[in-house]
Chains A and B, each alone.
Chain A
């Protein structure tokens, strides 16, 4: 019993110590990056600073809340943002919203209390996260939307890619790939009601208007999930024997569908959106015909540039669009070493 007590004390001490260490690490880390950041900025003053006009951001503190930091896309955004901020002597504080609008709102309030000069939000929900934007607005802090839209008229600016275009891109690419426009498709959708789902579907339907002989056999949500898409595709393969193409609203789901197709011993072309690592590999080995690459890095860097400009009181546009790029077997090598 005595030994247990000592064990408990030791563990408790370790916990407290590790918290101190982490905190020290963190504050130490940010100050040291700030140092190297300023010297780096001094070295290549002309090139990057003049080009992007962000030397104005030196010493600023920007907070960003992502709908989650537990998936590849937002981690890519964050890595690019952190690297950019290190170079430009900006402190970027990142928050994981844990797929919860209330959490993102609490984090926005923390950023306001902490004295951030600007706030960037990658919202989990277009409606619910409007409360975060309003909180920032009321505190007089510019709030920039990135990657996914927030329905708020006090949003300072929005940086993203037009999902309607992604939908159009992949549908048009599939038509060109098959070389005809009288085939049957299935569509695997993102979470119902999310702006990316609504708009990518709208894009697909825009193209279908001009090609009335393309039939949608079925469409169903797989919530961006590979395993859910696989399950759905398995049942579709049993109920339809005339599927000519699979349209995935993201890569994960296109890859899941492709797994089911391979398991059934068939070969139906699949296409997706985002350009994640696995999709790039799949395009290389012929499992996917293409993927519309959403440029996470460019979105985040632009968002930081706009945040700095807005914090300095400069006029900024309401929207900045970062174009999608189609990854095809011809150009796939350019994307292999992207991350």
Chain B
């Protein structure tokens, strides 16, 4: 049964078997349990300062997962997000140097345009030139890295303007709400509108669920597929810009391996790698779960090698719970 056909805002629990309930809310329950366990062992985990730290990290790394959700909903994959993040971060840092004398908005826009261009490149080769997403984005991973090294010559770019650094390190509302969280809230609001309130969202699900049916019903499937890679590229670029601003310099290693985390966040949130089935709010839970887990295990002082093992089991466990819904 297709859950997205269900009416929203109605008591969902009532109409679900326990099995469906677990499959849908397992990750959320896991997240709450995790908070509970960590804060019992270390009560100062719940300090408002620490929670804001966690939300800020979740906001930056989560941008990749939000974009990745669109891609995976169409049945694709984007392995280039980490590299796009690094590349866009480096280009925006280049234009944010004090010696360049550019306003922060120029640096941000250049970063975003780099991400848009790389995302569009992904979209075109996958949607129109029929390159499989796995291979296509693996190729652009290397291309993005190379373009980044060409600019930076493998050296970090320091001394950025204070206005630019504000995007990553600053806070508004009397210093209580970090800018990256504000950006994430805006991005999420737009994406929820796209997915749940506009035709675009239904088209994305339709393309991922059954490409032929979508085509026959008159959806421009190629344009839809192309567009999800553009969204992914732009959001990855945004994450890169914020990261450069936060660590106050462009660094070549930014984003290395982040694509794996982004994919994990999406699948933990219950989106199927086969496409057509999933939920954006699930990705939000996945983002929070992985970030709280990482931060919490650090907080508890758990050995880094055990952390890798635990995170591996969590990803597998979450997907396993979700799989139960498919029987």
B-binding residues in A (CB < 8 A): 1, 4-5, 8, 11-12, 15-16, 18-20, 22-23, 26-27, 30, 69-70, 93-96, 98-102, 105-107, 109-110, 112-115, 124-131, 134, 151, 191-193, 221
Contacts and interface: CB of A to CB of B under 8 A. Distances in A.
Given A8-B320, A15-B317, A131-B246, A102 B33 contact: no
Interface in B4-19: 19
A113 B49 contact: yes
Contacts of A113: 44, 47, 49-50, 53, 299
Interface string B147-187: 00000011111100000000001000000000000000000
A12 B256 contact: no
26 contacts: A4-B327, A11-B313, A15-B317, A23-B41, A23-B302, A27-B41, A95-B298, A98-B257, A100-B253, A101-B247, A102-B57, A102-B247, A102-B254, A110-B53, A110-B295, A113-B44, A113-B49, A113-B50, A114-B50, A125-B247, A128-B156, A128-B247, A128-B249, A128-B251, A131-B169, A193-B156
A110 B253 contact: no
A107 B298 contact: yes
B317 A12 contact: yes
Contacts of B154: 191-193, 221
Main secondary structure of the interface of B (DSSP, over half): helix
B57 A101 contact: no
Nearest to A11: B317
A105 B300 contact: no
A207 B327 CA distance: 71
Contact of B44 (A114, A131, A193): A114
Nearest to A109: B53
Given A93-B301, A131-B169, A192-B153, A23 B37 contact: yes
A115 B327 contact: no
B310 A105 contact: no
A94 B303 CA distance: 8
B158 A151 contact: yes
Interface of B: 19, 33, 37-38, 41-42, 44, 47, 49-50, 53, 57, 60, 153-158, 169, 243, 246-249, 251-254, 256-257, 295, 298-304, 306-307, 310, 313-314, 317, 320-321, 324, 327
Contact of B251 (A4, A18, A101, A221): A101
Main secondary structure of the interface of A (DSSP, over half): helix
A95 B314 CA distance: 20
B19 A15 contact: no
A5 B26 CA distance: 13
Contacts of B299: 110, 113-114
Contacts of A22: 300, 302, 306, 310
Nearest to A92: B301
Nearest to B152: A193
B249 A125 contact: yes
A12 B321 contact: yes
B158 A127 contact: yes
A127 B37 contact: no
B4 to A, nearest CB: 23
Given A94-B301, A130-B249, 5 more contacts: A16-B33, A19-B37, A22-B306, A112-B49, A221-B154
A191 B53 CA distance: 31
Contacts of A101: 247, 251, 253-254
B263 to A, nearest CB: 17
B41 A106 contact: no
Nearest to B318: A12
B156 A125 contact: yes
A306 B219 CA distance: 66
B320 A105 contact: no
Contacts of A126: 156
Contacts of B295: 106, 110
Given A26-B302, A101-B253, A193-B155, A106 B57 contact: yes
Contacts of A193: 153-156, 252
Contacts of A114: 42, 44, 50, 299
A14 to B, nearest CB: 9
A220 to B, nearest CB: 12
A96 to B, nearest CB: 4
Contacts of B314: 15
B16 to A, nearest CB: 15
A61 to B, nearest CB: 10
A127 B253 contact: no
B246 A127 contact: no
Contact of A15 (B302, B304, B313): B313
Contacts of A99: 253, 256
A301 to B, nearest CB: 20
Contacts of A134: 248
B153 A110 contact: no
Contacts of B44: 113-115
A69 B304 CA distance: 8
A112 B169 CA distance: 16
Contact of A1 (B37, B306, B327): B327
A72 to B, nearest CB: 14
Contacts of B303: 26
A243 B272 CA distance: 56
A22 B248 CA distance: 36
Given A127-B251, A128-B156, A26 B37 contact: no
B50 A110 contact: yes
